[in-house]
Structure 1
Amino acid sequence: MNVVVRHQAEALAAAGHQVEILTRRSSTELSDVQLTPGVTLRFLDAGPARPVPKGDHEGFIDAFRVRMAALGPYDVIHSHHWFSGMAALPLARLRGVPHVQSFHSIAADESTPLSAGERAESPGRMAGEAWLAQTSDAIVAISEAEADTVVRRLGGSPDRVAIVLPGVDGTLFRPTGVASAAGVASPAEVTSPAGATSPAGRGYAVVAARLQPLKGLDLAIEAIAAVSAELRPELVIAGDASSDYDGYIDELQALAARHGIASGVRFVGPQSRADLAGLLRGARVVLVPSHSETYGLVALEAAASGVPVVAAAAGGLREAVVNGDTGVVLDSRDPEVWAEALTGILSNPAFARRLSLAARERAEHLDWPRSAEGLLAVYRSLVGPGDEGWRHTLLSA
């Protein structure tokens, strides 16, 4: 979500708009900053100035709204995630300003399978999401799958739901040998990150995600373990541990040990955008085994890097990865089925090459200026063309 918010904001600013990104202050060391000309990031005091589980954010909504009320004026208020929407929609109504809502993830009732979405993280989330979907002036979904969920589960009106696909920076996320923005071709990257040598030259596979059960990291470990030893790559897991799931990394490490591949699974922590691009560029395959994804931005970033993706057939991943063309999409969560798909890529360089070329070609048509233009079309439908140069506020929970 943060990647989408920032890149869309920067693309809006490049098109002549003024954008403020508002988010909750999670550290006393954070202060307002201009990210790029036309984009200001502001931290609002709502709740303690430290990270807290997302399930606790509901208690900070009123305080966030009070702090936000001192800012502006804005021509459009666009909330990202339900917490932001609950704070912003009443204020937008008071000011007579259009309110646009994006969810990025939508809660699932506890009686539904995990693959249907995230669990409700706080008491008011499910009701709040439905209210936002039914009351906001427009809903921006990131995929057909998310749009369908907004209409079917939350009761949003189809004529107020617009789909705006994310973009990807094709100069940062690029295949090995493709010129960077500075015009310098990247060197071949055939070893694991942080200078470690891949086992027997078999390279490495990547999972990049927040470390929580929803992302299906257990399936990634079990799938890699099921690949034959002569083909099996190292599994590199990149991402920050979620504060909601203390001890989850220990569980994953124990799982790898039970399957006899403890030395072949490495956790490299959260990565900067540049480091993630380099990590993906050197991978032989990227796994996206999530139970639920509204789109799957990592899959698009892997595509731009010219790396085949093996993804779960969950939500927007069916749209982010073209099965058999840019990667492989699997309905099954059987590790043996995943291992078979991985083996098909790892053992067949020609097939892997075909997937890589098609993935990069598709990604080249999806950039952030195009994504921002999709947003502007939604905003114009609410504000009118006018002279534009609007002041937006994008709220990120």
Structure 2
Amino acid sequence: MTSTTEPLRIGLVSLHTSPGDEPGSGEVGGMNVVVRHQAEALADRGHHVEIITRRSSPNQPDSVSLVPGVCLRFLSAGPAAPVPKGEHDAFIEPFRHELAALGPFDVLHAHHWFSGAAALPVARQRGIPHVQSFHSIAADSATPLSEGERPESAGRMAGEATLARDSDAVVVVSEAEADTVRERLGGDPARVWIVPPGVDGSVFRPAPAGARRAETPYVVAAARVQPLKGLDLAIAAIAGISPAARPTLVIAGDASSEAGDHLAELRRLAESLGVAERVTFIGPQTRADLALLFRGSSAVLVPSHSETYGLVALEGSASGVPVVAAAAGGLREAVLDGETGVVLESRAPEDWAAEIERILTEPTYAADLSAAGREHAERLSWERSAAGLERVYLRVLGRG
């Protein structure tokens, strides 16, 4: 849908990870999906978008066109090689220097604090608005942490507080993230905007009516393999389901660079619980393959300790599949408890096992959740998400 406003020149800054990479590998996750799809939807509305990221391979060109109106640009800052996420602080200054040579832009929108630390001074120097999205927010040692969430450096905490205070707008994906920006970072409520992500319902779609299911039912957990994602709970839940109803658990995702030997730990857990033959690790999947996996499943599990939104949950709903999610952050908003899925306050494996088993053994219940989930997802398109961003940009430009 073309916008009625004058086309904007938008710079989307994603320093530490490229939205052109396939989600599920290394550090590539929901943020990459959001940036890529919002960029394409903004271009569909007639805007000119550059996604700006760090060069992580000597084979990457200076720029590449993703779709008409969207250019992915690689800047040299640090080695042209993959680097663990936590080491990107060192690349902020050289990235900022390269960013300052690009443009012109009407607005710079930074994703994650690394990007904001590089982009905010450039925006100020040029006299253009700076918009910040965090996607994850640091917690200091005095803040109650979810299991698997580690405290961050004082530099990151100070940097995020500065960005929340000094940016012209902060865009968040959920009420839960908005609360964190206001309460943990001291962000001005008047400058915090909620723009939910979307889902491509033509890719993530239900299986055709009457389609044959897998001979052995399976459920899916799609996430980077790291403690924060709670995959140990998914394995323990499968072990708690009665053998006659027990599905296969398919875990789709790559090990995070900071996860250590967590993948080996999960394999040992499955072995110790006697379900190693019912837990399959298939690694990162393309978007098309993940969508196919979802729509053939009996349920999508999201047992994360913390999520700003939980895009996987929305993709599961769009696929016409019940979602079982932890009551963590934005998952309470991505999943409508008792309507599109189940949101569990408990992290007891037996409680998760009971809910999964009910979905597997009560077809009418599962079908009702599936139908409501698809209806919910159809209301959340990427076009709608891009229209929300456009409103933010026009407001900070004084045009809305």
Tell me the TM-score normalized by structure 2. 0.90
Please point out which of 314, 317, 340 is paired with 1:303.
Answer: 317
Deviates more, 1:305-314 or 1:108-117: 108-117
Structure 1 residues 49, 189: CA separation in 2 closer, same or farther (over 3 Å shift)? Answer: farther
Q: Which amino acid aligns with 2:307?
A: E
**Residue in structure 2 matched with residue 44 of structure 1 by the alignment:** 75
Shift of 1:118: 3.9
Shift of 1:373: 0.3
> How many residues of Structure 1 are paired with residues of Structure 2 in the alignment?
369
Distance (Å, rounded) in 2 between the aligned partners of 1:121 and 1:258: 33
**Residue in structure 2 matched with residue 190 of structure 1 by the alignment:** 213
**Residue in structure 1 matched with residue 184 of structure 2 by the alignment:** 153
Shift of 1:53: 1.4
**Residue in structure 1 matched with residue 143 of structure 2 by the alignment:** 112
**Residue in structure 2 matched with residue 390 of structure 1 by the alignment:** none
- Asked if the contact 1:105/1:117 (under 8 Å) is kept, the reply is no
- Asked if the contact 1:120/1:126 (under 8 Å) is kept, the reply is no
Shift of 1:121: 4.1
Q: Which amino acid aligns with 1:24?
A: R
Equivalent runs, 1:285-304 vs 2, <5 Å:
285-304=299-318
What do residues 284-303 of structure 1 show as CA deviations (whole Å, max 9, x unaligned)? 00100000000000000000
Distance (Å, rounded) in 2 between the aligned partners of 1:146 and 1:336: 29
Distance (Å, rounded) in 1 between the aligned partners of 2:49 and 2:282: 33
Structure 1 residues 117, 135: CA separation in 2 closer, same or farther (over 3 Å shift)? Answer: farther
Q: Which amino acid aligns with 1:297?
A: L
1:163 equivalenced with 2:177 (yes/no): no
**Residue in structure 1 matched with residue 20 of structure 2 by the alignment:** none
Deviates more, 1:348-357 or 1:240-249: 240-249
**Residue in structure 2 matched with residue 194 of structure 1 by the alignment:** none
**Residue in structure 2 matched with residue 143 of structure 1 by the alignment:** 174
Distance (Å, rounded) in 2 between the aligned partners of 1:355 and 1:127: 43
**Residue in structure 1 matched with residue 44 of structure 2 by the alignment:** 14
Distance (Å, rounded) in 1 between the aligned partners of 2:149 and 2:59: 31
1:349 equivalenced with 2:363 (yes/no): yes
Distance (Å, rounded) in 2 between the aligned partners of 1:308 and 1:91: 45
- Asked if the contact 1:58/1:122 (under 8 Å) is kept, the reply is no
- Asked if the contact 1:210/1:242 (under 8 Å) is kept, the reply is yes
SS at match of 1:52: coil
Structure 1 residues 378, 262: CA separation in 2 closer, same or farther (over 3 Å shift)? Answer: same
Shift of 1:123: 4.2
1:91 equivalenced with 2:122 (yes/no): yes
What do residues 135-180 of structure 1 show as CA deviations (whole Å, max 9, x unaligned)? 10000000000001000110000000000010000010000017xx
- Asked if the contact 2:360/2:366 (under 8 Å) is kept, the reply is yes
1:256 equivalenced with 2:270 (yes/no): yes
Q: Which amino acid aligns with 1:95?
A: R
Structure 1 residue ranges (4+ consecutive) displaced by more than 2 angstroms after TM superposition: 110-123, 187-191
Please point out which of 62, 77, 102 is paired with 1:71.
Answer: 102
Distance (Å, rounded) in 2 between the aligned partners of 1:104 and 1:8: 14
Structure 2 segments unaligned to the other structure (5+ residues): 1-30
Distance (Å, rounded) in 2 between the aligned partners of 1:85 and 1:72: 17
SS at match of 1:114: coil
What do residues 2-33 of structure 1 show as CA deviations (whole Å, max 9, x unaligned)? 00000000000011100000111111122221
Distance (Å, rounded) in 2 between the aligned partners of 1:2 and 1:74: 21
Q: Higher relative CO (CA 8 A, sep ≥ 6), structure 1 or 2?
A: 1
1:325 equivalenced with 2:339 (yes/no): yes
Distance (Å, rounded) in 1 between the aligned partners of 2:324 and 2:32: 24
What do residues 234-263 of structure 1 show as CA deviations (whole Å, max 9, x unaligned)? 000001110111221111100100000111
Please point out which of 34, 52, 59 is paired with 1:4.
Answer: 34
